[in-house]
Amino acid sequence: DTGVSQDPRHKITKRGQNVTFRCDPISEHNRLYWYRQTLGQGPEFLTYFQNEAQLEKSRLLSDRFSAERPKGSFSTLEIQRTEQGDSAMYLCASSSGLAGGRNEQFFGPGTRLTVL
Amino acid sequence: EDKVVQSPLSLVVHEGDTVTLNCSYEVTNFRSLLWYKQEKKAPTFLFMLTSSGIEKKSGRLSSILDKKELFSILNITATQTGDSAVYLCGYSGAGSYQLTFGKGTKLSVIP
Tens-place pLDDT, residues A34-79: 999 999 999 999 999 999 999 999 987 889 999 999 988 999 999 9
The CA-based angle B29-B31-B32, given to 5 degrees, is 135
3-class DSSP string for A49-114: EECCEEEEECCCCCCCEEEECCCCCCEEEEECCCCHHHCEEEEEEEECCCCCCCCCCEECCCEEEE
Please tell me the distance in Å from A19's CA to the nearest CA on chain B.
Answer: 21
pLDDT value for B1: 57
pLDDT value for B72: 95
Average pLDDT over residues A21-31: 93
Site from A50, A103, A104, A111 to mutate, B interface, most B CB atoms within 10 angstroms? A103
In chain A, which residues have their Cβ closer than 8 Å to the Cβ of B97?
A: 31, 33, 48, 50, 55-56, 95, 103
pLDDT value for A101: 54
Site from A23, A39, A45 to mutate, B interface, most B CB atoms within 10 angstroms? A45
DSSP label at residue A3: S
Contact state of A43 with B96 under an 8 Å Cβ cutoff: no
3-state secondary structure of B83: helix
pLDDT value for B56: 81
What band does A100 get if pLDDT is binned at 50, 70 and 90?
low
